[in-house]
Amino acid sequence: MRNTQYIWLGISVMCGIIWVFLGQSWLFLNIFPGLLVGPGLNLEEYLQTGSSPSFTILWFSCLVALFIWLYVTTTSRPRNGDEVRQMQPRWWFAATLLVVLGWLYQLLFSVFIWQVRGQSPTNVSGMNYFPIPPAGWLLLMVFVIFDVILLFWLPTLLASPKTFRLVVPGAVRLMGGR
Amino acid sequence: MQLFAIGVGGSGAKCLEALTHLHACGLLTDTNGNPVRLGTFLVEPDQESTLLTRAETAIERYSKMHASLNKKTTTFARGELRHYGTWSPLSSSSGAIRLDQIFSRPVLRTQAAGLASLFDCLFPPEEQSADLVVGFRGRPPIGAAVMSRVSLASEAQTGQWQQLLGDVKAATGGGETTIIHLFGSVFGGTGAAGVPTLGQMLKNWLRDEKLLSVRVNASLLLPYFDFEGQGEEDTGVHAEARNFQLNTDAALQHLCARGQSCFDHVYLIGSDIKARYGFSIGGRSQENAAHLVELLAALGARHGLQPAAETGYAYVISRAMQNQITWNDIPDNEVVGVGLARGARFAVAWLNNFSLELDRAQAMPMPKFLSGAPWSRQFFQPNGQDNEFQGGRPSIRNVDELNLKATIDSYSETLLQWFYQLSANTGSGFSQEIFSPDLLRRNSSHENDLAMVVRGSARPTRDSDSDTVEYIKVRIDDMPKEQLTSRGVAGLADTLWDQAY
């Protein structure tokens, strides 16, 4: 990897951390509370026990996927452009998997865990899940996609090494014409 | 500086092929490092000779590539080459193709009966009636008789000799250092007869024209191959390996006695370990692979370009080990090794990878191609629009660019084949530690590993893991714009040439 790629990788990872652990929660609390709060849901409690863990695991998954991507692209020795381009579907697979996992993590921490434990995360008895309204679910799904873009697409775009530099979707348009 | 190289006979033609490749590898330079202007000329009665065709192919392909590059490169194929064509000593014999037609016996008998008897005494009937269209059949006396009838003064009035000698005159008159270098074997027919005769004729012509600053050198090949098998009864007069030593002895005696009047310097190169070639009387059946001895002969011409060559008359060379040749046995191996290694690595990387990549680019949109080949944006416009130039970068589908690519492909293939034969054709019990022949073949496997193409001391010192075509692509992609000398296929070839070593 070039020195500038290391720098961009560091910057994008730092941005990801700031976004996931600070920026995102701030937005949920201050901009989108109306979309997330359902009947009997304490937003701060939801952010602590539901949203935060699920986005933290998504962040960790993206980080793992990012390092796997960087390891594979750094160590492989493609002989031609076709072999480089073969990584494109793999990138799409990883990105799609991360989005689906991100959605599952939301379900897991908002619904499944409470169902399995038989506990209610709210003050309403018998409601073994966080009662997030449909618009809130939609918002969370969009945030998951945005997180994957920020935590996986951006660093792979900026730091894919060697001949894989332009294989990430959008890289040719954004970085190939210089 | 101008070097006029004249290849006489089949081996002479092969030496000219080697010289052309040396020129392509940037190894024929003057003392300031500028490439010399090379003029090539072939002398061969056997117009069907495969060896002649091979030399002509190498020369023609290099010339075409050089012309197509149109001076857009700074390091790749910079040397100019002008080919003056192929001349047959029989062409001045008014259609005669046999010795008894060239020296008409009835005419001899009526005008000089003694000469006719001498003619019969010197040449047995089978030699008198042998068809010389396939060459002088390994018999120097036949060649000497035919060549001695040639008058350079009259040849200089017309055709190829006129152009060649005119350029010798013009170059010398313009104050350029001019060297004429002849190549040929002294153990066969055409070379043994032609090289000393032509050398003397040229020396005489230069003296008559008062062009005394022109040096006439020669690389004379001593036996370095044998024939597998021999001619049949109906083959007629033909070259026989058992005569090679006899022919050589006679040629060296002649050289000892009269050599100074033919050449300023001679380079004598042969091999005690012989390559084996299939028997042939000449023509299309003569398919002798390239040999290291021919490279050494061509390096004689390179040595002749140096002022140091002023001292001494005859140069010989030997190797350090009995059964192996290494880079240390190659004269000026530090420079020559790098040049040849660069050429071999370029040819492998170009033909087996970059050229295939450019072919692949024709089958997909440019942005898609670019996603797997970031290096290509340095030379071709990234939006891929056809027939438009943007920022000096042509489209990867531009017809002129594709034509240029085809000429580089053609020449690279010739160069690679020569490297392959050079390294594979060593003779039994003899090995070379110069190139890996197996890696010097054209294939469509997108060769990536360059580390083992060159062996021994000329191998680049970089780590073998990073000695790959992919690393070259990465380096090219990382290059700042200002470092690129030109765009398009010429720019790519020039940059690859630079990065290949």
Q: What is the pLDDT of residues B273-291, one digit of tens each?
A: 888 776 555 555 556 889 9
Model pLDDT, residue B390:
54
The radius of gyration computed from the CA coordinates of chain B, to the nearest angstrom, equals 24
Average pLDDT over residues B155-161: 86
Chain B residues whose CB is inside 8 A of the A178 CB are 377
Residues B31 and B67 in one domain: yes
Q: Which two tokens stand for residue B140?
A: 């120097």
Q: Report the range of poorest mean pLDDT among A83-92, A151-160, B128-137, B452-461.
A: B128-137
Could you tell me which residues come within 8 angstroms of residue B217 by beta carbon, excluding any fewer than 6 positions away? B179, B180, B181, B182, B263, B264, B265, B266, B267, B300, B301, B304, B309
Residue of B371, B465, B475 best to disrupt the A interface, most CBs of A under 10 A: B371
Model pLDDT, residue B447:
84
Average pLDDT over residues B126-133: 77
In a domain, A151, yes or no: yes
In a domain, B371, yes or no: yes
Average pLDDT over residues B116-126: 82
Cross-chain residue pair B373–A178, CB shorter than 8 Å = no
Residues B62 and B34 in one domain: yes
pLDDT digits (tens, 9 = 90+) for A26-67: 898 888 888 877 777 778 888 888 888 999 999 999 999 999
pLDDT-derived band of residue B57, with 50, 70 and 90 as boundaries? very high
pLDDT-derived band of residue B234, with 50, 70 and 90 as boundaries? low
Residues B381 and B242 in one domain: no
Taking the C-alpha atoms of residue B496 and residue B501, their distance in angstroms, rounded to an integer, is: 9
Into how many domains does chain A fold? 1
Model pLDDT, residue A125:
67
pLDDT digits (tens, 9 = 90+) for B439-472: 999 998 888 899 999 999 999 988 888 899 999 9
For residue B376, what is the nearest residue in chain A, using CA coordinates?
A176
ipTM value > 0.95: no
Residues B252 and B396 in one domain: no
For residue A175, what is the nearest residue in chain B, using CA coordinates?
B374
Taking the C-alpha atoms of residue B411 and residue B416, their distance in angstroms, rounded to an integer, is: 9
Q: How many residues appear in chain A?
A: 178
pLDDT at B375 > cutoff 70: yes
Cross-chain residue pair B371–A176, CB shorter than 8 Å = yes
In a domain, A82, yes or no: yes
In a domain, A177, yes or no: no
Chain A residues whose CB is inside 8 A of the B368 CB are 85
Q: Global pTM?
A: 0.88
Model pLDDT, residue B350:
97
In a domain, B488, yes or no: yes
Average pLDDT over residues B128-149: 77
Cross-chain residue pair A80–B374, CB shorter than 8 Å = no
pLDDT at B384 > cutoff 70: yes
Domain end residue (candidates: B317, B348, B370): B317
In a domain, A66, yes or no: yes
Cα B184 to its chain centre, rounded Å, is 12
In which domain, by residue range, is B479 found? 336-499
Chain B residues whose CB is inside 8 A of the A85 CB are 368, 371-372
pLDDT at B232 > cutoff 70: no
| C-alpha distances out from residue B49 to A176, B56, B241, B287, Å | 52, 11, 19, 9
Into how many domains does chain B fold? 2
Model pLDDT, residue B307:
79
Q: Which of A79, A162, A165 sits opposite B448 (nearest CB)?
A: A79
Residues B203 and B257 in one domain: yes
Cross-chain residue pair A81–B447, CB shorter than 8 Å = no
Q: Which of A80, A171, A177 sits opposite B353 (nearest CB)?
A: A80
In a domain, B112, yes or no: no
**Over chain B, what is the mean pLDDT?**
88
How near does any CA of chain B get to the CA of A48, in Å? 42
Model pLDDT, residue B373:
96
Chain A residues with CB-CB distance to B under 8 A?
Answer: 2, 77-85, 88, 162-163, 165-167, 171-173, 176-178
Average pLDDT over residues B119-124: 83
Residues B206 and B66 in one domain: yes
Name residue A5's amino acid.
Q
Residues B442 and B472 in one domain: yes
In which domain, by residue range, is A162 found? 3-170
CA dihedral A56, A58, A63, A65 (to 10 degrees): 160
Model pLDDT, residue B282:
54
Residues B310 and B343 in one domain: no
Cross-chain residue pair B372–A167, CB shorter than 8 Å = yes
Taking the C-alpha atoms of residue B498 and residue B501, their distance in angstroms, rounded to an integer, is: 7
Chain B residues with CB-CB distance to A under 8 A?
Answer: 353, 356-357, 360-361, 367-375, 377, 382-383, 445-448, 468-470, 473-474, 477-478
Model pLDDT, residue B161:
92
